[in-house]
Amino acid sequence: MAHERLPEANATMKNVINADTLVWREDILRKAFEYAESGAFTDWQAIEVALRSLFPASRVDDILASPFCRSDLNRRCGKAHRHSPPD
């Protein structure tokens, strides 16, 4: 009889996001969207620099690792620039 391998506790725990992590994610995303919609930033990379001055770089990197997040930030930056008055 073959032995079934049970999932390791650590593997299961990796899939659980604790409340602290959720708060960090919400705070970083809120600030990133605020920056993008302000019209003061050209793209996600400019926002990344600003976010790293407020939050730990590793947390910012976790958020911006998502291509969907980067694309959304770029879209919001572009929209804000199209709607901002000329200098």
Q: Is the pLDDT of residue 11 over 50?
A: no
pLDDT of residue 73: 98
pTM of the predicted structure, to 2 decimals: 0.75
Q: What is the pLDDT of residue 68?
A: 97
Instruction: Give residue-wise pLDDT tens across range 17-58.
Output: 688 888 899 999 999 999 999 999 999 999 999 999 999 999
Task: Please state the domain extents for the chain.
Answer: 18-83
Q: If you compute the radius of gyration of the chain from its CA atoms, what whole number of angstroms results?
A: 18
Instruction: Flag whether pLDDT at 10 surpasses 60.
Output: no
